[in-house]
Structure 1
Amino acid sequence: MTVDFAQPRAVEKKKINFANLGVGAVMNMIEVTTLGQPFEVIKTHLAANRQDSMVTAFKKIYERGGIRGFYQGLIPWAWIEASTKGAVLIFAASEIEHVALATGVSPFSAGLIGGMGGGLAQAYTTMGFCTFMKTVEITRHKATGAAAQQSTFQVASEIFKREGIRGINKGVNAVALRQCTNWGSRLGLSRLAEESIRKMRGKDQGDLAKLPLNAWEKIAASAIGGGLSVWNQPIEVIRVEMQSQLKTAGRPEKMTIAKCAKWIWQTNGLKGFYRGTVPRFGLGMWQTICMVAGGDALKKYVNERYGK
């Protein structure tokens, strides 16, 4: 990563674009309602039930509710989370990335900084409660047959009465660490992939450098950035374990990131930190395609049509 502050690149000064809040909300809603939530459910199940294989996870999820089992937690928590965190991510990341480019850093560095800032912003402003409740819904015991089943709001209310604000935001620091590394990697590596594609296609010289990448090139770059960002899976496993409602003998009651990491190491060893990597690889690719390639395309459309 090279930074040259002596010759800042010419980046047009712009007003803060609040339309990006809407762009982020729309793209994140599309992402989670299509492939996002099934990948999330499989990934979370494997991270919480680290003894299960992929096949076992599919069977158990399907037994819980058929195809609808793969969308467990979508309504209302994933929708609430997606509409709010997507808005915050695109807005914050776009503004930070623009300022970073103006200082003269490379597109990779600007994307990395913008993604990290956007990830932290969404974690602490909107994600804590919703991410926790999604994990609760996926990991809590579900009554079957004629047995009474608590609604998701009853569960949230009980946790709040028992543990207060901290209880319903349990694991938020792990969420913040995950989102910071997630979107720093995804946005930064996507921008790096875009630059590499430009060089491979001869679009980095002269007037060609001003031409935007086509849709397939943007999608490919986003898929590469999203897939490679799976390196931080141990953080995600720790986050899931901290928020899990599964009852296991010997499991510490009050989890910190350090205690949680120690518990996972004691019970599952090194491989325990990488449970759910395969579905998260797919999730990372799909989220990045939607939020980076799709987000860039929608931002361009909105700015061209409504910018003035």
Structure 2
Amino acid sequence: MTASQQPVQKKKVSFSNLLLGAGLNMCEVSTLGQPLEVVKTTMAANRNATFMQAIKHVWSRGGVFGFYQGLIPWAWIEASTKGAVLLFVSSEVENRLRSVGFSNFSSGILGGVSGGVVQAYATMGFCTCMKTVEITRQKTVASGVAPQSSWSVFKTIYKNEGIRGINKGVNAVAIRQMTNWGSRFGFSRLVEQGIRNVTGKTNPEDKLTAIEKITASAIGGGISAWNQPIEVIRVEMQSKKSDPNRPKNLTVGTTFKYIYNTNGLKGLYRGVTPRIGLGVWQTVFMVGFGDMARDFVGKLTGENPVAKH
């Protein structure tokens, strides 16, 4: 019986697996993840800056600590919650679609899309917005008055603009996440199937090696960078960078038009290099290190945590 003919068996999502996912996400973002995120956001907000100019700009905002702007608490809140949401929703949708005859490729895409959308609206909206605010807001000391703390900025935005203010750009985040995870899951599944065909691992129980899984996930992650324009749009909608020419009450459409008119097609792809680097780091960390962590947790608890790569 071939892999496509095998009955679909839903894998158990355990509590230990959710804790493992949160822990891995926290470690990933606290190492190279946030510095790459900061550089990517800086380039998207300052679209005339080169990669090296963006690094110098970030360094000027606090040295090494400048690369960790927005880490505490926003990136930590996001990292500790988004994995559980993505895992639950994408696993449920993917397994249900496969059970009614969808291919691994199509069910992977639709599972990723569904997980990404729910992830954006449930956990990532205000975290992504506040990270961008922290990275792009003015922090220089004026007249001896220290800049507001991150929490004070959050309270000010909430007081003046309410829920919409702290979730500014959430629709762009949702579009980014659905296209992100749709691409990652779908193309990762496609590459995995190709690897299985080449290596003869046609039985679903045949495990791919760490290198094979990292390769499949890295290709899927790299391809997902095609949606960089929506990431630049998201940053512009959430940015606190002073720009008198920026239109009021931005939507995804008006922001796209503004960026294209001022910076052209090239402006819509600013920050794609550090974003690809971020995707590679996330892949190596979550798949490579994740496998070792999953094996450890499996031996410790007697459970076999689900790998969602």
Does TM, normalized by the shorter one, top 0.5?
yes
Gaps of 5+ in 1: 1-6
Q: What residue is the counterpart of 2:150 in the other structure?
A: 152
Q: What residue is the counterpart of 2:33 in the other structure?
A: 36
Question: Matched residues in 2 for 1:98 and 1:132: separation?
Answer: 32
Gaps of 5+ in 2: 305-309
Structure 1 consecutive aligned stretches of length 4 or more whose deviation exceeds 6 Å: none
* Compared CA separation, residues 296 and 235, structure 1 to 2 (3 A): farther
Q: What residue is the counterpart of 1:47 in the other structure?
A: 44
1:240 to 227, 231, 235: 235
Task: Count residues in correspondence.
Answer: 299
Q: What residue is the counterpart of 1:165 in the other structure?
A: 163
Deviations 1:28-74 (A, max 9, x none): 21221122111100110000000101110011111111111111111
1:283 to 275, 278, 284: 278
Give matches, 1:198-277, under 5 Å: 198-204=196-202, 210-277=205-272
Quote the offset at 1:244 in angstroms.
0.2
Percent identity between matched residues is 58
Quote the offset at 1:133 in angstroms.
0.2
Deviations 1:227-250 (A, max 9, x none): 111000001000000000011122
* Compared CA separation, residues 24 and 90, structure 1 to 2 (3 A): farther
Question: Matched residues in 2 for 1:298 and 1:36: separation?
Answer: 18
Q: What residue is the counterpart of 2:124 in the other structure?
A: 127
Q: What residue is the counterpart of 1:93 in the other structure?
A: 90
- Cα pair 2:210 2:287 within 8 Å, conserved: no
Quote the offset at 1:300 in angstroms.
7.0
- Cα pair 2:172 2:230 within 8 Å, conserved: yes
Q: Which deviates the most, 77-86 or 106-115? A: 106-115
Deviations 1:71-127 (A, max 9, x none): 111111100111011221122222222222222322222221221111111101011
SS in structure 2 at match of 1:52: coil
- Cα pair 1:77 1:130 within 8 Å, conserved: yes
Quote the offset at 1:166 in angstroms.
0.6
* Compared CA separation, residues 121 and 19, structure 1 to 2 (3 A): farther
* Compared CA separation, residues 292 and 121, structure 1 to 2 (3 A): farther
- Cα pair 1:20 1:90 within 8 Å, conserved: no
**1:81 matches 2:84:** no
Quote the offset at 1:18 in angstroms.
4.8
AA in 2 matched with 1:175: V
**1:24 matches 2:21:** yes
Question: Matched residues in 1 for 2:258 and 2:5: separation?
Answer: 48
